[in-house]
Structure 1
Amino acid sequence: MNKFYETNMIRNVSISGAPSSGKTTLAEAMLYNSGQIQTIGSVDKGTSIMDYDEEEILKKITIHTSLAHFEWKGNKINILDTPGIPDLVCEMKSSMQVTETNIFVISGIDGINIDSEKNWHIADDLKLSRIVFINKIDDENVKIDEIIESIYNKFKKKAIPIYYPVGVGSKFNGLVDIIKMKTIYNDNKISDIDPNLLDKIKNYRDKLLDAIVETDDNLMEKYLNGEELTEEEITKALKKEILNNKIVLVSFGSALKNSGVNNLLDIIVNYMPSPANFPEIEGKYNDKKIVKKQSSNDTFSGFIFKTRIDPYAGRISYCRIYSGKIKVGDEILNVNKNVKEKIQHIYTMIGKNFKDLDTAYAGDIIVFTKIDSFDTFDTLSDAN
């Protein structure tokens, strides 16, 4: 029997970014660090577990959204690695809509370009919480503060680092935790902040605190009285502002060198929303309003957000479960077609590899195969 995760222990995360920003390499590093894969695949060498289609390998770009999952500190994280090229914006948007969090990957070399802007506005339209991961920090030409400033100038969002790099290029050797006010080096050694960096870190910490106390009178009073906010108070306030799309957290690293990736994973589980943060979802059936609870205790409902034809597996239907649970042998209704289907298999995926599930629960992302009535944008429900 597969492991059960409560809805609040699931994180659904889409990864977007301009071509060559390094988002697929980042996905590979996340899977490797979690223990889900044994080696980090390479886009350039054609060994990526996420970009496995022949055309993707040939062109060295993501063409199809790939699904993978892993566990991090007791939470299940589903990741959807989406295409970055403008011609595939519909593929990207249909996948992003079933996630609560978007990791927006920016190349530290290229900064924000027109493709990045399009991706950002899609996430805005979908009201997704966001993490900006500034990648390729190991390049000598990265201009950290300019990129952070450009996020606000272009998107009018409070982009606040929660980690800040110690050095860039060949001198990049760790990150400062702006909440804990400690430096975490690449060899996992923890120490006090370099005095030469301290004023800049304090400035960013002040910006973070200013942002989170604005909407909380009790915190504001404590802050203005010069009292130190506890880590618990900061975390709680940050999560609220992230959920309301008032703050975008920024972190840094090098996906290729697998630096800063664990810090990013910690941000996902510590600060980003789960499906449980959106307790109800509304729909219509025969012009009647339907409200479902994003809980395994409600009846089953799901949404097919992607369909793909595989030469071996046949028709693959990617489904986000919004309520209830589904198990092998259940009969469910395709609401759009008014067709009932008996479920013979349920899978999760890691790239192109299928993993059998006997039961899946609210908040999760799963895959069905060889069900011809399922099309993209179909709604599923329990048979009754």
Structure 2
Amino acid sequence: MKRIETPFIRNIAFVGHGGTGKTSLGEAILFTCGATSRLGSVNEKTSAFDFEPEEIARQTSYASAVVSVEWNQHKINLLDTPGDGVFQADTRLCMAAADLTLLLVSAVDQVEVGSARAWASAEELGRPRMIYVAKMDKDRANFDKTLAEMRSVWGPDIAPLQIPIGAGDDFKGVVDVLNMKAYTYSGGTGIGTLIDVPGDLEAAAADAREALIEAIATSDDDLMEKYLDTGELSESEVKNGLKAAIAAGSLVPVLCGCATDNAATDVLLNAIVDVAPSPLDAPLPKALNADESEVVLKCDDNGAFAALVFKTIYLEMGKVCFVRVFQGKGDTDLTFYNATQETKERWGQVLLPFGKKLESLSSGTPCGDIFAVAKLKETRVGDVLCKDKMDFKVQTPPVPNACISFALKAKNKGEEDKIAGALSRVLESDISLTTSRDQQTKDHLISGMGQTHIEVAVSKMRRFGGEVELLPPRVAYRECIRSATKRVEGKHKKQSGGRGQYGVCILNIEPQPRGTGFEFVNSIFGGSIPTQFVPAVEKGVRDAMVHGPLAGYPVVDVKISCVDGKYHPVDSDGRSFEMAGRKGAREGMLACSPTLLEPIMTVAITVPDESMGDVMGDINSRRGRISGMASKAGNQIINAQVPQAEVLTYAPDLRSMTGGRGYFTMEFSHYEEVPGNLVDKIVAASKAESDSE
């Protein structure tokens, strides 16, 4: 592809609910533009967008893909995103890199939860939007019903740029209401045949055109004044006004078509070229100086370099990073500063992306373009780049909190290095995956947005040579006491010839308020334990708190005071008093009505109205407490607090209850006592696990 300058570049992110046909639409565009010789298919495993083994096997998108095509002397960078909400961090980075969010909505299923989530993200990120009503050829396809529901959920600033000619088996094409032209399609070429507007659609098309022009006029004071005075706008005023309104987000145009039959693809491409914002028109992200003052970016080849790495993938050539330049240009052989990793790097060639195929661009790219670079060592997905260390930093979309975790276990001993290398590659490619080590359970945890998210990550690890098994994470229970006891004796005495071991400490043990932690108090008076041995008593007591007497979990919220003791001038030493402290603490704890504490999670669950009763009943069955409810974008948000033990596998359960339409966020809140009827069961399971180890 020849170099195309900034005014003629369009960066488009396809978003929407899973199964709305984003990848199929991308394939239709490639074929219509002549970039492929046949119409690619997800089902036939010939898609240029879905090329990773996990995607091919399951016939669904699990990662974004980038393809660049040319249409009418314009370069269009297509960013196809996964529809499953567990990959929303990937989708949001693509939206931040694009200048227009093309939201796909099914003409059969109308506004689904994935589409509502994508709309909310576009609003949050300030991205211009365009809607494509897909699947117009399917049974029960209904454009008018879909339009009405979108306006009901998202507001009135949604205006058709096209209306369909027929629906279902009778879908023939579209009417371009802006130009009052109609097109029919056959043969799957994507190129329409111009016809007169059908007589039964003339009134509807005229009404839609009038509503569209009124919406354009309303978006600009000068246009509104002229429209009120004369009742009309010129062709250039309409086109320029529409383009400006889309870029400002004050108007969202609606198009329609059928990707699998490749119908109405050319008019979609024409709309992208004619009215979608170029990098010069679209809003740019915020950037901050080191002192947190805001920097106003400008899409200018001569500006200070500023870019976002919105995708990273490993191909045969190694690691490949996909970059959107917001300011400056994508020169070859560029040395840059990675502001996220705080290090300098250099790339050589600049590459044109076409799915997993990459073509070298000898002249680099202009400002606003998207390209790929290979073999960067430190740079990973989500990193922001600039020219020098003291330059500003572009703000990136916030990363959603992980809501599910699994423990990783090596399948074969001695392969820890392989696993670490494979895991590092996966983490470099997915900003919403995290790993940690639970200091209490010693589990090596991998955390993400859902079970599918984790399973896909583990599948990639296996491809990279890291054979691991997924295990449910162990709940980090803790132990506490509910009553106090006084003058518990901790005694250590050993005599086996020669110098013996002797130490006695007297302890008072009492509960502390929840969240206080552990406190040791030295209350010795009169020298019953020499001063130099008191730290040894404390060490023994603290050691006893690491593994509580009930089930071996850490002890918290306890105050232990050493009030008295005995010593022997010859046989006493630090080790003896350490042992005495440990024994006294353990025996005293057992006399203080010990019990277990469990972590409580705060969850916010977004579900459609019809699933609300089932989800609320399920939360109650999990010992959860519902704290409130709210409505947002046609869905219900249920706020609750639930024990962690009850939501370890909540992600697939919620998916099952809501048909894939529900999603949730979760974070740790606090610890609470485990109900008495469950304590014995947890204690027995802990002891059985210890015995097996």
In the alignment, the residues of structure 2 paired with residue 374 and residue 37 of structure 1 have an alpha-carbon distance, to the nearest angstrom, of 32
Tell which deviates more after alignment, 60-69 or 194-203. 194-203
Tell which deviates more after alignment, 237-246 or 14-23. 237-246
In the alignment, the residues of structure 2 paired with residue 54 and residue 24 of structure 1 have an alpha-carbon distance, to the nearest angstrom, of 16
Equivalent residue, structure 1, for 2:86? 87
Partner of 1:361, secondary structure, is coil
In the alignment, the residues of structure 2 paired with residue 134 and residue 248 of structure 1 have an alpha-carbon distance, to the nearest angstrom, of 13
- CA distance 1:288–1:117, change in 2 (3 Å): closer
Shift of 1:278: 4.4
- Correspondences of 1:271-290 after superposition (within 5 Å): 271-278=275-282, 282-287=286-291, 289=293, 290=295
1:204 equivalent among 208, 226, 235: 208
In 1, are the aligned partners of 2:127 and 2:283 still within 8 Å (CA)? no
In 1, are the aligned partners of 2:318 and 2:375 still within 8 Å (CA)? yes
Shift of 1:114: 1.4
In 2, are the aligned partners of 1:157 and 1:246 still within 8 Å (CA)? no
Deviations 1:77-135 (A, max 9, x none): 11110000011111111111111101111121221111221111111111211111111
Partner of 2:88, secondary structure, is helix
In the alignment, the residues of structure 2 paired with residue 9 and residue 337 of structure 1 have an alpha-carbon distance, to the nearest angstrom, of 33
- Alignment of 1:361 with 2:384, yes or no, is no
Equivalent residue, structure 2, for 1:269? 273
In 1, are the aligned partners of 2:133 and 2:255 still within 8 Å (CA)? yes
Deviations 1:220-242 (A, max 9, x none): 45434564432212111111211
Deviations 1:51-70 (A, max 9, x none): 01111011111001000111
Structure 2 letter corresponding to 1:352: K
Equivalent residue, structure 2, for 1:240? 244
In the alignment, the residues of structure 1 paired with residue 179 and residue 235 of structure 2 have an alpha-carbon distance, to the nearest angstrom, of 8
2:300 equivalent among 290, 295, 304: 295
Shift of 1:192: 2.7
Deviations 1:222-280 (A, max 9, x none): 43456443221211111121122111111111000000111111111111111111486
Equivalent residue, structure 2, for 1:154? 153
Deviations 1:179-205 (A, max 9, x none): 111222226332332222122112212
Shift of 1:291: 4.4
- Alignment of 1:230 with 2:234, yes or no, is yes
Equivalent residue, structure 1, for 2:376? 371
Identical positions, percent = 30
Tell which deviates more after alignment, 278-287 or 149-158. 278-287
In 1, are the aligned partners of 2:10 and 2:278 still within 8 Å (CA)? yes
In 2, are the aligned partners of 1:134 and 1:252 still within 8 Å (CA)? yes
Equivalent residue, structure 2, for 1:104? 103
Partner of 1:209, secondary structure, is helix
Deviations 1:150-191 (A, max 9, x none): 111011142211111111122222211101112222263323
Equivalent residue, structure 2, for 1:68? 67
Structure 1 letter corresponding to 2:311: K
In the alignment, the residues of structure 2 paired with residue 65 and residue 240 of structure 1 have an alpha-carbon distance, to the nearest angstrom, of 28
Tell which deviates more after alignment, 209-218 or 280-289. 280-289
Equivalent residue, structure 1, for 2:10? 11
Deviations 1:281-334 (A, max 9, x none): 652343365444211122322111222233x22222111111222333232222
Structure 1 letter corresponding to 2:70: E
In the alignment, the residues of structure 2 paired with residue 256 and residue 146 of structure 1 have an alpha-carbon distance, to the nearest angstrom, of 22
Tell which deviates more after alignment, 192-201 or 115-124. 192-201
In 1, are the aligned partners of 2:351 and 2:373 still within 8 Å (CA)? yes
- CA distance 1:221–1:331, change in 2 (3 Å): closer
State the TM-score, normalizing by the size of structure 1.
0.93
In the alignment, the residues of structure 2 paired with residue 342 and residue 71 of structure 1 have an alpha-carbon distance, to the nearest angstrom, of 29
Structure 2 letter corresponding to 1:55: E
Deviations 1:34-67 (A, max 9, x none): 1122222110111111001111011111001000
Shift of 1:344: 2.1
In 2, are the aligned partners of 1:176 and 1:184 still within 8 Å (CA)? yes
Equivalent residue, structure 1, for 2:313? 308
In the alignment, the residues of structure 1 paired with residue 88 and residue 284 of structure 2 have an alpha-carbon distance, to the nearest angstrom, of 28
Partner of 1:293, secondary structure, is coil
In the alignment, the residues of structure 2 paired with residue 104 and residue 305 of structure 1 have an alpha-carbon distance, to the nearest angstrom, of 19
Equivalent residue, structure 2, for 1:163? 162
In 1, are the aligned partners of 2:159 and 2:211 still within 8 Å (CA)? yes
Deviations 1:317-354 (A, max 9, x none): 11111122233323222233342223222212111111
**Aligned residue-pair number:** 382
In 1, are the aligned partners of 2:310 and 2:381 still within 8 Å (CA)? yes
- Alignment of 1:177 with 2:190, yes or no, is no
1:349 equivalent among 353, 360, 385: 353
Tell which deviates more after alignment, 181-190 or 319-328. 181-190
Higher RCO, 1 or 2 (CA under 8 Å, sep at least 6)?
A: 1
Partner of 1:119, secondary structure, is helix
In the alignment, the residues of structure 2 paired with residue 299 and residue 224 of structure 1 have an alpha-carbon distance, to the nearest angstrom, of 44
Tell which deviates more after alignment, 151-160 or 261-270. 151-160
- Alignment of 1:122 with 2:121, yes or no, is yes
In the alignment, the residues of structure 2 paired with residue 241 and residue 326 of structure 1 have an alpha-carbon distance, to the nearest angstrom, of 29
Partner of 2:152, secondary structure, is helix
- CA distance 1:116–1:326, change in 2 (3 Å): closer
In 2, are the aligned partners of 1:326 and 1:361 still within 8 Å (CA)? yes
- CA distance 1:357–1:215, change in 2 (3 Å): closer
Equivalent residue, structure 1, for 2:50? 51
What runs of 5+ residues in structure 2 fail to find an aligned partner? 187-191, 390-693
Structure 2 letter corresponding to 1:134: V
Structure 1 letter corresponding to 2:281: N
In the alignment, the residues of structure 1 paired with residue 180 and residue 105 of structure 2 have an alpha-carbon distance, to the nearest angstrom, of 25
- CA distance 1:286–1:265, change in 2 (3 Å): same
Partner of 1:295, secondary structure, is coil
Tell which deviates more after alignment, 59-68 or 135-144. 135-144
- CA distance 1:371–1:154, change in 2 (3 Å): same
Equivalent residue, structure 2, for 1:34? 33
Equivalent residue, structure 1, for 2:339? 335
- Alignment of 1:213 with 2:212, yes or no, is no
In the alignment, the residues of structure 1 paired with residue 305 and residue 98 of structure 2 have an alpha-carbon distance, to the nearest angstrom, of 18
1:251 equivalent among 251, 255, 260: 255
